[in-house]
Amino acid sequence: MSQFDINSEKVAVLMGGLSAEREVSLMSGTGVLQALQGQGVNAHAFDPAERDLGELKKEGFSRCFIALHGRFGEDGTVQGALELLGIPYTGPGVMASAIGIDKIMTKHIWRADGLPTPAWKKVDSAAATLAAFAELGGPMIVKPAREGSTLGLTKAVCADQCAMAYALAAGMDEEVLCEQFIAGDEVTVPVLGSGAQARALPVIRIVAPDGNYDYQNKYFTHTTQYLVPCGLPAGEEAVIQQLVRDAYKSLGCRGWARADVMIDAVSRKPYLLEINTSPGMTSHSLVPMSAKAAGISYAELCMQILQSAALDYPRHD
């Protein structure tokens, strides 16, 4: 991590991009841009869907705040390009980003490290999805392996829904994941920092209408409740925060990220669902909400993340 000099550095806020989450990325990026500019940072919007990344170097940008979501922004591709350009960027590096967006690979690593995650099957057809339903039981979650924001996700409650659920997910990604449904509390936990300095922020408990925390309820309605303090039984919050720190480190994350967790209503055991290596920064987003509960304003959060910008392979020339 290089020391940030607010007086001399030109910062690009990467937003928009080519993924299915472009609209949300533009909202995140606009918020970040305004916050940084309000703190006196020489920050500018940069949309990789409209401009070649090589222009970052030509125009003298010395640091990038990645506010891209999904493919071509959160999957290691932009991170790799910035490594080649030698421009430090926010969030996890190439490998952690590439693994983090792939829910199947993430689960393999968490399972190998002894971290709890719901049982799953990778499927490649409607018939395989039906077989997974028979093995995992219902309800079952069917989703694309490499999309975010619950895009393409179905909660299949009966076998008759499997074919439709597979078609929806496969329409967004050739790799489809069937996952055991965990009934209970849904929570999310941001992490800031790297290595031994990584710290989990307050847990947010999510209460969505009819338990349906979908794309619409995430970004465009006001009916979902976000509880922070989370109101969980004594001791559970600390256990979940430690679990998420372990999950973050397991994937080699740095800078910041946010992990989603389900808590079994009966056993109270937490299960890791997935990690977001470039979380949302919109008015509905959860990292700013958790940070606020920890006494960190939106502008301060943006500055902390920007200051953590780094390269996997720093230049020494």
Q: Check residue 43 and give its pLDDT.
A: 98
- Spatial distance between the Cα atoms of 223 and 208, rounded to a whole number of angstroms: 7
Query: How do the domains of the chain map onto residue ranges?
Result: 10-90, 99-116+182-301, 120-180
- Residues 83, 278, 280, 298: which is the catalytic one? 280
Residue 221 has pLDDT above 90, yes or no: no
Whether 260 is catalytic = yes
- Residues 248, 254, 260, 285: which is the catalytic one? 260
Residue 301 has pLDDT above 90, yes or no: yes
- Spatial distance between the Cα atoms of 261 and 187, rounded to a whole number of angstroms: 5
The three state secondary structure string of the chain is: CCCCCCCCCEEEEECCCCCCCHHHHHHHHHHHHHHHHHCCCEEEEECCCCCCCHHHHHCCCCEEEECCCCCCCCCCHHHHHHHHHCCCECCCCHHHHHHHHCHHHHHHHHHHCCCCCCCEEEECCHHHHHHHHHHHCCCEEEEECCCCCCCCCEEECCHHHHHHHHHHHHCCCCCEEEEECCCEEEEEEEEECCHHHCEECCCEEEECHHHCCCHHHHHCCCCCEEECCCCCCCCHHHHHHHHHHHHHHHCCCCCEEEEEEEEECCCCCEEEEEEECCCCCCCCCHHHHHHHHCCCCHHHHHHHHHHCCECCCCCCC
Regarding predicted confidence, which is higher, 5 or 47? 47
- What is 10-90's CATH number? 3.40.50.20
Reported as a single tens digit per residue, the pLDDT across 242-265 is 999 999 999 999 999 999 999 999
- Residues 28, 276, 278, 285: which is the catalytic one? 276
**Whole-Å CA distances, 10 to 7, 45, 62, 82, 271:** 9, 11, 6, 15, 41
As assigned by CATH, the class of the 120-180 domain is: alpha beta
- Residues 74, 179, 237, 274: which is the catalytic one? 274
Q: Check residue 315 and give its pLDDT.
A: 75
Reported as a single tens digit per residue, the pLDDT across 72-126 is 999 999 999 999 999 999 999 999 999 999 999 999 999 999 999 999 999 999 9
Whether 50 is catalytic = no
Whether 274 is catalytic = yes
Q: Check residue 224 and give its pLDDT.
A: 83
Q: Check residue 220 and give its pLDDT.
A: 54
Whether 89 is catalytic = no
Regarding predicted confidence, which is higher, 268 or 21? 268
- Residues 16, 17, 19, 21: which is the catalytic one? 21
Greatest extent of the chain over all pairs of C-alpha atoms, in Å: 61
Q: Of 257, 246, 278, 304, nearest to 79 (Cα)?
A: 278
Residue 182 has pLDDT above 60, yes or no: yes
Whether 149 is catalytic = yes
Whether 312 is catalytic = no
- Residues 149, 194, 217, 250: which is the catalytic one? 149
pLDDT class for 233, splitting at 50, 70, 90?
confident
Dihedral of alpha carbons 155, 160, 162, 166, sign: negative
- Spatial distance between the Cα atoms of 163 and 168, rounded to a whole number of angstroms: 9
Residue 12 has pLDDT above 80, yes or no: yes
- Residues 19, 258, 271, 285: which is the catalytic one? 258
Whether 21 is catalytic = yes
| 285-308 mean pLDDT | 96
Whether 215 is catalytic = no
**How many CB atoms are located within 10 Å of the residue 141 CB?**
22
Q: Check residue 58 and give its pLDDT.
A: 97
Q: Check residue 2 and give its pLDDT.
A: 66
- Spatial distance between the Cα atoms of 247 and 121, rounded to a whole number of angstroms: 20
Q: Check residue 283 and give its pLDDT.
A: 77
- Residues 89, 166, 213, 219: which is the catalytic one? 219
As assigned by CATH, the class of the 99-116+182-301 domain is: alpha beta
| Strand partners for 190 | 258
